[in-house]
């Protein structure tokens, strides 16, 4: 439990902005970008509509559905030097869904998110799992 708390404190410091971290090139959460978390899983955003609805893929590196890009739907609300976002994945063949909600920093190109995964079953004490991730922008793969 202490490790999770420390990870969230570190994530909050990383997205806090240039007041706590050295200045970095400004980035924007936009279509065509990819972000990896500390587990190596990758969110790729393929579109962000004018109303904030986003689509893309999420590729986890572990568990059911590993290394198989899964469709993502979500929302992004940009404001000031960052924004709020959420996205969800239905794990095809895995009988579960996961949703992330977090805050994005234009200054760092990172976002910290909390997640909940719910199993498709009758309610059981361990049917919902929660955690946190820190996502970092990945270099563009332009030719």
**DSSP code string of 71-123:** EEEEEEEEETTEEEEEEEEEETTTTEEEEEEEEEETTTTEEEEEEEEEESSS-
> Is there a domain that residue 143 lies in?
no
> Is there a domain that residue 142 lies in?
no
The pLDDT value given to residue 125: 87
Question: Distance (Å, rounded) from C-alpha 13 to C-alpha 55?
Answer: 28
> Is there a domain that residue 56 lies in?
yes
The pLDDT value given to residue 3: 53
| CA separation, residue 111 to residues 13, 63, 83, 124 (Å) | 11, 23, 9, 31
CA-closest candidate to residue 104, choices 95, 94, 115, 112: 112
> Is there a domain that residue 48 lies in?
yes
The overall average pLDDT reported for the chain is: 83
CATH of the domain at 95: 2.40.128.30
**Please, how many CA atoms are within 13 Å of residue 135, restricted to the half-sphere of its CB?**
31
Structurally, how many domains does the chain consist of? Answer: 1
The pLDDT value given to residue 39: 94
- pLDDT at residue 16 is higher than 50: no
Give the residue numbers spanning the domain of 121. Answer: 2-137
The pLDDT value given to residue 140: 76
Question: Distance (Å, rounded) from C-alpha 103 to C-alpha 41?
Answer: 18
> Is there a domain that residue 41 lies in?
yes
Question: Distance (Å, rounded) from C-alpha 89 to C-alpha 85?
Answer: 14
> Is there a domain that residue 25 lies in?
yes
> Is there a domain that residue 66 lies in?
yes
Determine which of 23-37, 48-62, 78-92, 108-122 has the lowest per-residue pLDDT on average: 23-37
> Is there a domain that residue 27 lies in?
yes
- pLDDT at residue 67 is higher than 60: yes
């Amino acid at each position: 439990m202490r490790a999770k708390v420390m990870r969230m404190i570190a994530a909050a410091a990383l997205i806090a902005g240039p007041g706590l971290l050295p200045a970095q090139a400004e980035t924007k959460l936009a279509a065509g970008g990819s972000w990896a978390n500390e587990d190596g899983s990758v969110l790729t955003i393929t579109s962000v509509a004018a109303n904030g609805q986003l689509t893309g893929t999420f590729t986890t590196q572990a568990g059911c559905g590993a290394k198989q890009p899964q469709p993502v739907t979500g929302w992004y609300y940009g404001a000031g030097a960052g924004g709020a976002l959420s996205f969800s994945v239905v794990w095809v063949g895995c009988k579960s869904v996961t949703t992330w909600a977090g805050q994005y920093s234009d200054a760092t190109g990172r976002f910290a998110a909390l997640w909940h995964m719910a199993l498709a079953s009758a309610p059981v004490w361990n049917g919902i799992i929660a955690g946190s991730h820190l996502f970092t922008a990945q270099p563009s793969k332009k030719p």
